[in-house]
Amino acid sequence: MIRFTRGLVGIVIVLALWQFGSFTGLFPENYIPPPTTVLPRMLELFTGAFNNGDDQKFLADLVATMLTWLLALLIAIGIAVPAGLLLGSVPAVRLATRVIIEFLRPIPSVALIPLLIVLVGSGPETKITLAVYAAIWPILFNTIYALDEIDPLQLDTAKSFGFGKARTMITVGLPHAAPFVFTGIRLASAVILIVVISTEYLAGGTVGIGKFTLDWASGSGRQDIILAVTLLAGVIGYLLDGGFLKLQRLLFKWNTAEAGGK
């Protein structure tokens, strides 16, 4: 409750400063409308206040973005977790792939937009591919890090009971790595949302929050709507992170400190 109250106070202070800046002319209203204008627009996007059907279009774009987010997250988990378990448990494979991984990891996903547009076009495949590419790394490295931190005594105990590598991984490695993997998934969730919306905006897709923003930014002069969608994207990201954090604390009460649950 105290944390919620502090967060609420912080939001109120930011909104008050924003409103004050608009009132004094520090923020030109043509470029940065005040919160008293932007916040109602956020509600109008959902309540059907627009007469030209843009509220329905926004809801369709929102659903498209969130479905893309979910699909990219599931694909990233399906790729990064097995790969992380393999690299974390087999030193030879990890050593052999280190150069490739360290080469690919720093490449910004948005820098690959032109290449993917040429290869697969500007449809959903582009944003899904880029989002998966960006989300793999936090999950992968959290999984590898988790296996590196296993207590050798636990491995020796499993070996003394005659467990093979596969059974040791299932009974010792996975339970130990699970909180760290979930932390990687939580981080990847935010990364995916950023990449999906950015790709929709930059690559000119057919649907999505980014495409909706691009349409309104193309000569409409409606900065209030653009800021409303931008703030809404931030709210979605905050809710997703908060939801993952609560789920993490619920599932891994025994290891929230190591799992980054604080």
Task: Give residue 64's pLDDT band: very low, low, confident or very high (50, 70, 90).
Answer: very high
Q: For 200-218, how does the pLDDT look when each residue is reduced to its tens digit (9 = 90+)? A: 888 767 788 988 888 887 7
Task: Give residue 261's pLDDT band: very low, low, confident or very high (50, 70, 90).
Answer: very low
3-state secondary structure of 20: helix
Asked: is 33-255 a CATH 1.10.3720.10 domain? The reply is: yes
pLDDT at 257: 43
Task: Give the C-alpha separation, 85 to 164, whole Å.
Answer: 15
pLDDT at 51: 47
Task: Give residue 136's pLDDT band: very low, low, confident or very high (50, 70, 90).
Answer: very high
Instruction: Please say if the pLDDT value at position 63 is more than 70.
Output: yes
For the chain, percent of residues with pLDDT exceeding 90: 28
How much is the mean pLDDT over the chain?
83
Instruction: Please say if the pLDDT value at position 61 is more than 50.
Output: yes
pLDDT at 4: 67
Higher pLDDT, 139 or 149: 139
pLDDT at 258: 45
Instruction: Please say if the pLDDT value at position 48 is more than 90.
Output: no
Question: Which residues, 6+ apart, have CB-to-CB distance to 61 below 8 Å?
Answer: 207, 208, 209, 211, 212
Question: Which residues, 6+ apart, have CB-to-CB distance to 217 below 8 Å?
Answer: 226
Question: Measured in whole angstroms, how far is the alpha carbon of residue 210 from the centre of its chain?
Answer: 15
Instruction: Please say if the pLDDT value at position 144 is more than 60.
Output: yes
Instruction: Please say if the pLDDT value at position 193 is more than 90.
Output: yes
Higher pLDDT, 78 or 7: 78
Specify the range with the lowest mean pLDDT, choosing from 48-52, 122-126, 138-142, 242-246: 48-52
Task: Give residue 253's pLDDT band: very low, low, confident or very high (50, 70, 90).
Answer: confident
pTM: 0.85
Instruction: Please say if the pLDDT value at position 6 is more than 60.
Output: yes
Q: For 164-181, how does the pLDDT look when each residue is reduced to its tens digit (9 = 90+)? A: 777 777 777 777 888 999
Q: Give 41-50 contacts, CB < 8 A, sequence gap 24+.
A: 41/224, 41/225, 41/227, 41/228, 42/228, 42/231, 42/232, 44/228, 45/225, 45/228, 45/229, 45/232
Domain residue ranges in the chain: 33-255
Specify the range with the lowest mean pLDDT, choosing from 2-11, 115-124, 224-233, 252-261: 252-261
First CA to last CA across the chain, in angstroms?
Answer: 15
Higher pLDDT, 182 or 152: 182
Instruction: Please say if the pLDDT value at position 14 is more than 50.
Output: yes
Task: Give the C-alpha separation, 261 to 186, whole Å.
Answer: 10
